Amino acid sequence: MPSTEPLPGNLQALLPRLEALYTDIHAHPELSMQETRTAGLAADHLRAAGYDVTTGVGKTGVVGLLRNGDGPTVMLRADMDALPVEEATGAPYASKVTATDHEGNTVPVMHACGHDMHVAWLVGAATLLAQTRDSWRGTLMAVFQPAEETAEGAQAMIDDGLFKRFPKPDVVLGQHVMVGPAGAVGGRKGVITSAADSLQIRLFGRGAHGSMPQASIDPVVMAAATVLRLQTIVARELAPTEAAVLTIGSLQAGTKENVIPDEAVIKLNVRTFDEGVRARVLAAITRIVNAEAAASGAPKPPEITPLDNYSLVTNDDVATTRVVEAFHRHFPAERIRETGPTSASEDFGSFGAEWQVPSVFWFVGGTDPDTYAKAKAANRLNEIPTNHNPRFLPVLHPTLQTGVETLMVAARAWLAAP
């Protein structure tokens, strides 16, 4: 794929090493806050490239610094954690790993969101920028972050002194592999990923024999009514111009078909793009849950427990323009796309927002271009496995090369000339 402004360094010579790193990490995924092996690989590659490396930041995070004279400081971030998903890709490097989650359960583990690709991208960009340091001046900060999937990692690194122990960047840059033609790059000014709130709702009833429902207060019926009523928040309480997603991902109650249980547990997730909408949706959830419990004669009010929270990721207008202009100088115009906001969520925004520096986040396509084009022509894009699907697997090429290039191009848009 030709470029209009080539990058220094020999990316083609590095690609086999990056492919080996990617497939190795993919085959050995690690859950959130357990990324010791992945962090070790990232740290080893940074040291080999000449970076000053600090490990154990926010438990398993890695920070590499390459000081190369006077100039801006640019932070590049990649997340490292995998998901409790059983892989079904059939790839020769597919994961067969199991691990113990934070609740003590043995679960399958898979890189179903592409963080293995993110690590390989940042290793590649950091290595090439170090090899070509005679072409720029400034400081590079490569950050390998744990626990993005649980919204813990960015804050854990911040709480562990990231802002005090390392130089303040002039810009924070990050990216994510997504469904889309491999080789394509997409982004936008303003909000690019949604806010997310996950909640657990425990509904209390009174258990009884299945043949004696009159002696019970049935939490299963209570939960079913609650799930149906919660759907009306988006359908009937928000204007058509307001966006929100409310998903019930788990409903658990009982153990036997002829036993009415004492309680039911609902786990749900909300995605919003506006703080006012978010507040209204969360208030509506509380109102409905309590009302349905009261209508059922529940012996006590439900327990509503927050599980995790992601803030909006908002791209700085001026910084985004700078990145997009740099992309246009390097990539053919047809490979650069403006996207809408996505309902996926990220904790990347915490770095820029809490450090009070501009940040830019964008997407890199990872779907075979022919597969994507055929699916689009047949109006079947929804059948392509998305992130978090057991069959999600980015094509290696040109996805691997593109992600290294985007990080390098964006970083060099800030780094000073020699």
Q: Which residues pair with 204 in a beta bridge?
A: 263
Q: Is position 6 within any domain?
A: no
Instruction: Check whether residue 60 and residue 176 sit in a common domain.
Output: yes
pLDDT tens readout for residues 97-129: 999 999 899 999 999 999 999 999 999 999 999
Is 330 a known ligand-binding residue? no
Give, for 338, the enclosing helix (H) or strand (E). Answer: strand 336-338
Q: What are the Cα distances from residue 79, in Å, to 46, 195, 286, 305, 347?
A: 15, 18, 33, 26, 10
Per-residue pLDDT, 1: 45
**102 annotated as belonging to a binding site for a ligand:** no
Question: Ramachandran region of residue 69, left (φ > 0), alpha (ψ -120 to 50) or beta?
Answer: left
The answer to whether residues 185 and 216 belong to one domain is no
pLDDT of 5 over the 90 cut: no
Q: Is residue 272 part of a domain?
A: yes
Host domain of residue 140: 11-193+312-412
Question: Are 58 and 157 a contacting pair, CB within 8 Å?
Answer: yes
Same domain for 177 and 137? yes
Domain boundary, last residue among 282, 309, 336:
309
Known binding residue 28? Answer is no
Domain's final residue, options 260, 289, 309: 309
- For residues 238 and 135, membership in a common domain is answered with no
CA 88 to chain centre: 20
Assigned domain for 4 exists: no
Whether residue 328 is annotated as binding a ligand: the answer is no
Count of domains in the chain?
A: 2
Domain shared by 41 and 147, yes or no? yes
- 188 with 337, same domain: the answer is yes
149 is an annotated ligand-binding site residue: yes
Same structural domain, 48 and 177? yes
> Per the domain annotation, does 417 fall within a domain?
no
- CATH number of residue 162's parent domain: 3.40.630.10
Residues 333 and 262 in one domain: no
CATH code at position 272: 3.30.70.360
Query: Does 102 map to a domain?
Result: yes
Question: Does pLDDT of 2 surpass 70?
Answer: no
Residue 3 belongs to some domain of the structure: no
Average pLDDT, the chain: 96
> Model confidence over 237-276: pLDDT tens digits?
999 999 999 999 999 999 999 999 999 999 999 999 999 9
Say whether both 35 and 162 belong to one domain.
yes
| 5 lies in some domain | no
Instruction: Please check whether residues 56 and 129 belong to one and the same domain.
Output: yes
| Of the candidates 337, 402, 410, 342, the residue with the CA atom closest to the CA atom of residue 118 | 402
Instruction: Decide which of 309, 333, 357 is a domain's last residue.
Output: 309
pLDDT at 170: 98
Q: How many CA atoms are closer than 13 Å to the CA of 206, on its beta-carbon side?
A: 11
Q: Are residues 332 and 260 in the same domain?
A: no
Per residue in 375-417, pLDDT (tens digit) is 999 999 999 999 999 999 999 999 999 999 999 999 999 999 9
